[in-house]
Amino acid sequence: MSQTIPPVLSVVPTRALVDETFKVVVENLPPASPVTLHALLYSEDKDYWEAYGHYVSDHRGTVSVAEDMSLGGTYTGKEAMGLLWSMRPEPGSRTGLRLRKREVTSPMLVHISVYSGHITEGFRKQSPLASVPTERWYMAPGVQRIEIKEKGVRGTFFIPPGPGPFPGLLDMWGGRGGLLEYRSALLASHGYASLALEYFSPSELQSADLQIQYFETAFNIIKDHPQVIPDKVGILGLSLGTMLAFNLVAESTKIKPRCCVCISGHHLVSNRLMIDGSLPNDPKKLRFDENNYLIRRDVVLPVPSDPSQKIDVRNIKCPMLLVNGDDDQNSPTVEAAEDIGNMMRSGGNLHLLSTLTYPDTGHLIEPPYSPHFRATTVRAPRTKEKVMILWGGQTKPHSDAQEDSWRKILAYLHHHLYSSTTPKAKM
C-alpha cells in the first residue's frame, strides 16, 4: 500500500535581515495543483498583517515563489518577495494602520504557509498543508545597542560588530515624534555606527539657536565616539528629518558632515526652522481626497522666489543625495528638488547634488520589503485629533522604489564614508 508524502514547504533562510531576500518553495504537491502561499505577521500593535499569492504547481508538483507566477492575491506575477512587500492588515482590522518595529532586539515573526486551493480570506480559520515560522531582523548578531542620554541629547546608538572604527551616521525621522530605532539598527547591520535621534517634543526647544545646537551636539557625540572615524560621519533624514538635515548642512559652522541623504523632504522653510509641531504653511491649501484623506503637499507651494523663505542650499559643501517619489502627497519633493538644483547651480555647488525620483511612489520610502502605506492615521501634534493622512504611492512601484533606493543609498554611503578609493557607485 503506497503512502502519500505530505507537501514540504521550505523557506531559506528562515532567519535574515529585513532587507535580505528569501526563497520559498513547496514540493511534493500533485502536479497542476492550485495552492495559496500565505504570510502572516502579528504586529506589536496587536494587529494581524497578511499577504498571499495564488499558484499552480508544475509537472513535478513544485511551486517556487521566486520563479513562478502568482495568478492572484495581494500581488501578481513573478515576485520573489511579494509575500512581504504586499502585506496589509487582514480584513476587518482597524483602518489607517502602519507597521513599524519598535523593539529591534527581537525579530518580526512571519509565518509562511501553503493552503490547498486558491483562497482569499479566513486563513487563520483553516488548516494549512504546511507552515514555516521565519524571523526578519533589523539588528544583525553582534550589533551593540546603546541608549544615549548625554549633553541633553536623547537617542539610541547602534554600533556594528567588530573592532572598528566605523563611519558614523546621524539618523533623523520625521515630524510624528518619538524614537524610532529600526533604520539605525539596519544601518549598523551594514557597517555604520548610527545614532537614531529623538528630537521632537513641542515644548522642548524654544529657540532656533537651541535647536541647531541640539543637532550639532548629537553629530559630535557620534564623531567623538572611540569606535567612529571622526571625519567620516554623514547625515540621513526622512521628511522633517530631511529639512533638519538641509538646515544643518547649509547653516551650521560647527559640524562638517561627509555626505547627506535626504528622503522625501524639502527646503521650503526659513533657515531658522522652528520645531513646534507645525511648519510655515497656508492652511487654506490643505486638501482632502475623495476618501477624506488629508493632502498636505500644497501648503508650501508655490515654491517661494524669496530666498529668505527657503533654506539656502547654495551654502551646502558636502555631497547630497535626494530620494523622492513623484506621487508624494505629503511634501512637494519633486518641485523642491528642481528648485534645489537651480539654487545649487547658481551657487556653484550643483556638482554635489544627486537626485533619485521614483514613479508612482509616495512619501514613506522605507527599507526594502516593508509594506506600502498609502494612507495612515496620525494624531495632530497640537490638537491630538486623529486624522487620516494621504502619503501617496501605488503598492507595486512604491515597493520597487524602496528596494532600488535602499541599494543605492547603501552604495552612496559606502562610496562617501568607507574609503576615498572605493569605486564610484553607479546611481
What does the alpha-carbon distance between residue 240 and residue 158 come to, in Å, rounded to a whole number? 22
3-state helix/strand/coil string of 43-55:
CCCCCEEEEEEEE
- Catalytic option among 363, 372, 398, 416: 363
DSSP structure string for 185-196: HHHHHTT-EEEE
Of 239, 264, 370, 399, the active-site residue reads 239
Q: 250: helix, coil or strand?
A: helix
Are 295 and 285 in contact, with CB atoms under 8 Å apart? no
Rounded to an integer, what distance in angstroms lies between the CA atom of residue 269 and that of residue 279? 7
- The three cell numbers locating residue 405: 533606493
> Could you tell me which of 316, 292, 319, 301 has the C-alpha nearest to residue 390?
292
CA angle 144, 197, 368 (to 5 degrees): 70
Q: Exactly one of 328, 372, 398, 405 is catalytic; which is it?
A: 328
- Cis? peptide before 13, omega within 30° of 0: yes
Evaluate whether 289 touches 319 at the Cβ level (below 8 Å). no
Q: Indicate if 363 belongs to the active site.
A: yes
> How does strand 375-379 pair with strand 23-27?
unpaired
Q: Which helix (H) or strand (E) holds 223?
A: helix 208-223
Q: Give CA torsion, residues 339, 342, 343, 348, to 10 deg.
A: 160
* Residue 239 annotated in active site: yes
DSSP symbols for 346-374: HHT-GGGEEEEEETT--S---STTPPP-S
Known catalytic residues?
Answer: 239, 328, 363
